[in-house]
Amino acid sequence: MQEPQATTPPSSPDTDAAPGTTVGGAPAGVAFPKTIKSFVRRAGRTTTGQAKAFEAWGPAYVLPYQAQTLDLEKAFGGPGPVVMEIGFGMGDATAHIAGLMPETHFLCCEVHEPGVGALLKHIGERNLTNIRILQHDAVEVIDHMLPEQVLDGVHIFFPDPWHKTKHNKRRLIQSPLVAKLAARLRPGGYLHCATDWQPYAEQILEVLGAEPSLRNRQADGGYAEKPAYRPLTKFEKRGLKLGHGVWDVVFEKR
């Protein structure tokens, strides 16, 4: 999968740094130190359809980012299991899964504006009322808006692979974030990741395996069969035809 080009990668000497990690002091004239991000804000035109969807559905389905605890029941208009999705892209898988599971509440983070517009369009067209969107860095959402043991699941599908070694530190799935996610899962809640980049798949299996509060749902400790709810994306179908692999990893909170 294509990944955004880091035109101005943060110049951190700390190779173990992870997204959300603050690096370096604030240079003169800059108010805050830099934080490593797992994304770059890509240019991309919001289409007229997406802009209309923002107008029509944004007020009801996009939540403001606030550095304070989010009342999930209030946000979704009632109780229900909550699954967080990080980086939904254009929201195709999100909309599919939310349609399959109308009783589950999906808290979905994405920073790419056209993607948010695209998911809002799905919401309007399919009348999906069980999705709420945060157009914000998921790491900050987790840090500041989610208390412990409130999530029943987490979906991270095809996170940016950051292929180059010098960019690997931007990968989302590293132990600090996994520990935070594990803390926010209820016992029995799951963390489902999928990637088409084998070195990242190996990293995910290793990092999740090293988190003591999680266990692999796969008895042999390996990769999972693709769970039925995750649809095959167009990109994935094309890759599979070419013989490329996709790896699903599903762990659960002890």
Given 61, 76, 88, 251, the residue binding ligand SAM (CB under 6 A): 88
Rounded distance between C-alpha atoms, residue 231 and residue 99, angstroms: 12
Rounded distance between C-alpha atoms, residue 36 and residue 170, angstroms: 7
The count of chain residues that interact with ligand SAM, using the rule CB under 6 A, is 23
- Residue 103 known to bind ligand: no
In the chain, the amino acid numbered 52 is K
Indicate the residue among 164 and 254 with the shorter CB distance to ligand SAM. 164
Given 111, 142, 173, 181, the residue binding ligand SAM (CB under 6 A): 111
Residue 251 binds ligand SAM (CB under 6 A) = no
- Residue 234 known to bind ligand: yes
Q: What are the residues facing 85 on neighbouring strands?
A: 108, 155
89 near 42, Cβ under 8 Å? Answer: no
Given 63, 109, 214, 249, the residue binding ligand SAM (CB under 6 A): 109
192 near 154, Cβ under 8 Å? Answer: yes
Residue 76 binds ligand SAM (CB under 6 A) = no
Given 36, 70, 108, 112, the residue binding ligand SAM (CB under 6 A): 112
Q: Is 152 a residue of the active site?
A: no
Sign of dihedral through CA atoms 112, 114, 120, 121?
A: negative
166 near 17, Cβ under 8 Å? Answer: no
Binding residues for S-adenosyl-L-methionine: 85, 110, 137, 160
Annotated binding-site ranges for substrate: 164, 196, 233-236
Catalytic residues: 160
